[in-house]
């Protein structure tokens, strides 16, 4: 982790990380769209066991890194919920053609 020497430097680093986070979420979103093409039903899209695995894995990683696991779970839950809805839409649109 970089040691910053001013508030301005801290904010610059945070802004750079925020940009990377959005880029990573975008990459994840594109992969989710691809995943829809490999599934055969809306229930398969929902993949509750997979979601639970992701949430538990992210909680464990948060604990290992010393950050609030509840915050990480909430962030992941929001992201997953939105992406499942997007994937259902992709799945249904692919089914039309």
User: Is residue 2 domain-resident?
Assistant: no
Q: What are 20-75's pLDDT values in tens digits?
A: 999 999 999 999 888 888 888 888 888 899 999 999 999 999 999 999 999 999 99
Is residue 91 pLDDT above 80, yes or no?
no
In a domain, 1, yes or no: no
Q: What is the pTM of this model?
A: 0.83
In this structure, is residue 78 part of a structural domain? Answer: yes
Q: In angstroms, rounded to a whole number, what is the distance separating the alpha carbons of residues 42 and 39?
A: 8
- Which has more pLDDT, 6 or 97? 6
Sign for the pseudo-dihedral over CA of 8, 26, 75, 56: negative
pLDDT score for 73 = 96
Query: What is the DSSP secondary structure assignment for residue 5, as one 8-state letter?
Result: S
CB atoms within 10 A of CB 97: 4
pLDDT given at position 37? 83
By residue range, what is the domain housing residue 87?
7-96
Domain CATH number, residue 23: 1.20.59.10
Determine, yes or no, domain membership for 84: yes
H helix count then E strand count, the chain: 4, 0
Q: Where does residue 87 rank: exposed (0-12), middle (13-18), buried (19+ CB within 10 A)?
A: buried
Residue 87 lies in a domain: yes
Q: In whole angstroms, give the CA distance from residue 59 to residue 68.
A: 8
The total number of structural domains that make up the chain: 1
Residue at 38 is within a domain: yes
pLDDT value at 97 more than 50: no
């Amino acid at each position: 982790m970089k040691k910053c020497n001013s508030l301005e430097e801290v904010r610059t680093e945070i802004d750079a990380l925020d940009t990377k986070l959005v880029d990573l979420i975008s990459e994840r979103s594109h992969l989710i769209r691809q995943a829809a093409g490999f599934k055969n039903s809306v229930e398969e899209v929902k993949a509750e066991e997979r979601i639970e695995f992701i949430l538990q894995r992210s909680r464990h990683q948060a604990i290992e890194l010393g950050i609030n696991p509840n915050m990480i779970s909430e962030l992941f839950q929001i992201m997953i919920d939105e992406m499942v809805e997007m994937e259902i839409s992709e799945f249904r649109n692919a089914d039309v053609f």
